[in-house]
Structure 1
Amino acid sequence: MTRAEWIRAMAVGLALIGGAAAPSTSRAHDGPHSHGHDHPGEAPAEAAGPKYPTGLILPPIDGPKPWSDAPHLNHPDRFHIAIMTDRTGGHRPGIWEKGVEKVNLLRPEFVVSVGDLIEGYTEEVPEIERQWEEFLGFIETMEMKFFFVPGNHDLTNPTMHRIWREHFGREWYSFDYKGVHFVAINSEDPQQHLGEEQLAWLEEDLAAHADARWTLLFLHKPLWTYAEREMAAGNPDPTNWKRVEAMLGDRPHTVFAGHVHHYVQYDRNGMNYYHLATTGGGSQLRGVPYGEFDHVTWLTMEPDGPRVSHLLLDGVLAPDTVTEKGIARFREFLTDASVQVAPILITEGEGLDEGRIDVRLANDFDVPVTVSGRIEGLPLRGLTVDPASLELTAEPGEAAELSVRVAFGEPIPFEALAGTVFTATITGEAAEGEAPLKAEQAVPVVIDRGYTISPADHDVALDGRLDEWESLRNGLPSPPMILGAAESWTGPGDADLSFDLAYDDEMLYLAARVLDEAVVPGEDRLEVLWDPRPMDRRVSDPRFARGGHRFTIPAPAPNGDEASDALEVGRRRDGPTIEGARAASRQIEGGYEVELAMPLSALAEAQDGADWSSFQLSVVVSDVDESGAEPARVLWRGTRDVDRSNARFGHFVRRP
């Protein structure tokens, strides 16, 4: 396409989509005004300079286009406003100010309130003035126009009515913007009531603006609920709200109120009425299902009426919420301030009746760090936890420890303890010019059986013969977990497993016997999943790929006295294939036997050269009944995510 053709195409696009910019002939009312609306705002003078197209100009493309067919939302009657609700009635310091910060980020055309801006409830003039001075200081930081609406905390008594009028003039007023009529009324006239003077004004005001494309009405108390409650009891309406509804009639309108500190949307005669939650007022903040949250209401006025949404304050973020420098320091904080929970590994019995959970805070960060939290997820059968909650503080370069005693009325099986966690909040003291650092963590608490492992009491020949192994102490549970073609596993006679472990100065040995009535060489196989990382690392990050090794020994073919040395060694994602591992396997009557040697150097490397004390391991038998079939994978321990997570692997503990 030539430049001339492109310019012509742009002109066509402009004509079809938006048209050229034209000088505005309308004037927007700027600020509140009432009755005859005798104070219209002045339209800004047109800036000199070139005119630019206002439409969306899309290049002509034949065939499919990289945009959707939905309309471009650029209607000239569309606009956005924010509505802020109760600040007081048990205000929580800082929340309203946060709301102002968020509104400044959102850039509405203006902001409307629904009252309760100060605490009030006093006739002491200096105190009332102090409260208004404080609030007006908040408004000075708002970067767009703010419309005041009075609440019961703002107009508690005649003195406060007088001061309101001195500061703000009218207690009820209206204004217009882009064909929408805004009405602010006073629900405290005198209290939970609309007086005759206000009603007369409202009737005249609404009649004068009967042609408004929509009417938005703002007041503090949701008077419709009070009126309906009284009328349901057979009493007359004490609020005069029903007279307001009659004045509104069938004109398109929406009503916003506050006061009750929880959010509800109502439908009245096909119109939406809202009482809003809080922007800092007293609240239990139990969450969205209760309607208890701090928010700013966002109203988008469309040609066919308003679209209303509610923005939780914590969900509106400034662009510098996370900076390169800030995220680097936070990551350093997460690395250098660590919470460790020592495991409870029980080598005798099948459960826990009493134990001690040791929690340690290690602070290698540059400011003091505090951790607080609770042990959660324990069964409640006669449970005692002492202390119930804990707090530790460590100075830079130091550590702090605390023990938690756990006792039950009866022994609890290990399976019931698998969900135990220490829920912790870690807080770093604020450095100069910075905000405090805070992180939430759920640290798993390992309470499990410990499988002891001892030095080998014989030289391991690694010949696939298990004669020198006195016993194989570990066997499949009943029933085991089966993955894959679970229906093909018919029981222990189909594929059964027993195994044991030992070590010498150089190697960790595993001996296993698989009983299988129909061995399929090369397709039946034994998998050994080994996570040699330190306890705290493998518990806090159970992803097997982070540090685990997989050894796969295919079932051997019948070969007399000759042993097969076939071994497949899985590659770690973040490290090389383990060197020096060896295997030997032999087919026996009714199955096959395996010996596997894993170098202790890999264990020492994974534990940063420390003298090792434990590791995690599981064994999986893959069994097929005929060549080419999908295998049934029979797990000694683990979960359905056994290939990716060490969860429920056995903990093997070096015997002292």
Structure 2
Amino acid sequence: MASNIPTEHSKAGFSFAVIGDCKSEVCLVEPEPFRQNIRSINLLMPDFVVILGDFVKGDTHEDLLGEAWNEFERVARGLKMPYYLVIGNHDVQCRSGEKMFRERFGSPYYCFDYGNSHFIVLNSEDKEGRGDISGRQLEWLRKDLKAHSEAEHIFVFVHRPLWESERNWNKKIHHLLVEHKVDMVFAGHNHRYKAPMTRDGIKYIVTGGGGSVPMGSIKEDEGIFYHWVYATVRGDEVNLAVIRPEGLLSEGGKPLPSWKELNWIHKRSFGPAFIDALREIPFSEDINIRIRNPLKFPVHGTIEWFVPDGWDVIPRRMEYSVKPQSETELYFKVNADEKAKLAYPLPWYESILRWKKTGEPIATGRSGIRLRRRFVCRKTERKIVVDGNLDDWQDFEPLRLNRKEQVVGHWEGVDDLSAKIFLAWDENYLYFAAEVRDDYFCQESSGGDSWQGDSVQISFDTLNDDRSELDEGDYEYAFALTPKGTEAFRLSVEGSSIRGEEDKDLLLAINIKSEEGLHIYEAAIPWSQLKPFKPRRGAVCGFNVVVNDNDGDGPKSWIGWTPGIRESKDTSYFGELLFK
């Protein structure tokens, strides 16, 4: 697996950490609470760590999945001790997910020994068992338990808490574990902590607060908070402690930031720089980055730029300080020569905040250069009828999605996948239409999974700020003709939680013309759903759109205005709607 753990017997005992669910809502960025948990684990220095799955946002294209794993490994290497991985459902969500996991880390079920104990890692995502522990994995488990019956303690790790269902775990696995005197079973999957449930001498623990978005608002009395579990083994005794990282102090006496401060830092502290998407290359331009410090202490930071071919940022590295609850601007010069492409990926930076210039990190952020795109949304003097017919849109200029650089995945040209996007408004509605050219229609999912088939997603940043990820005032819609019928699925942000639900209040019509290779989407969104935005001439709203393509063998590709929906949920990538 990811690391080698010594197997020599330890008479003095040992400790290990268990942490679950650390994926972000952004494909290529691990969440800051995960980094914070890593910092707190390093303060207590257990002998090793077991991470309970959902390492990456696997509902992305295969072209991006490798980069997502690279990012996870880069962050996980911040641990000062070895770590072991338990495969999760999001890690295999992409078609090549399990194959990539095996190539990088080996078998998704395995075992190891440490001290007087035996450790078993199971795969709850085994296709052979369809979520159960069965077939070859079950036979392997039987043999392994029998072979290690002399171990003083046996610990089992699995991503999903399979004992919460009435499937084969409770019928077969539990009794097998009881027979071989297993001490504890750890699982994640649910983004919360559930106190141990003891059944026939086995403790079952759910710990899923490793960094992923919590299940609802933070509620300490319901176990909804960021955390990890610290286990100590001393002879025949095993003790558990639930660790919240913000409760720990470094040797310097300063606390790690709270989850609220981390959330604020992650979304608002590290600003992007914008350049006009219509700039002519080559060029040289001054840019500025804004760094915000919400903490009650001064912080010290470093910025390091990473640049693709044809680009340069001067200086590449810079140190800075920010006073308590203040902000500062940093200035750079960006140069683009004839080899540079005015398309993503563009130069990006990583910044690390510390209490002292040479002290332990307290937060890490990432941002970079964004292209400023703008599209005019005109007021309509007549009501647009939402009927799946584009006759009402003849006088409106479309936003065109028809270039290779707008595509992620396999693309054979405009007949394979392209789109014309129309927008208009009046006092009551924002009107949207898409004329999609797609040579094959396939949509077998529904609800929050409709992105996996032919569909359209649109997003709004009503505050048009430079925050990263979805925040209050940000909304996303998915329109699809699913097996259940015409569906609209809406994401919104309440506090620090993302809420997803079917939207039955907006008007939506979808007309699939398979023989012509045309898919027509038309919608009217009431302004009451896009608060606090107020439509008026001259107003500006952040906006993005992506069209998903599935030709019958799973998600194939997508084409979008900017990378701010499928590749990430980073609203700083969004373009702008100018209302006229």
Determine if the TM-score, normalized by the shorter chain, exceeds 0.5.
Answer: no
For Structure 1 versus Structure 2, the TM-score category normalised by the shorter chain is: 0.3 to 0.5
With CA pairs under 8 Å and 6+ residues apart, which has the higher RCO, 1 or 2?
2
TM-score w.r.t. the length of structure 1 is 0.39
TM-score w.r.t. the length of structure 2 is 0.44
Structure with the largest fraction of strand? 2
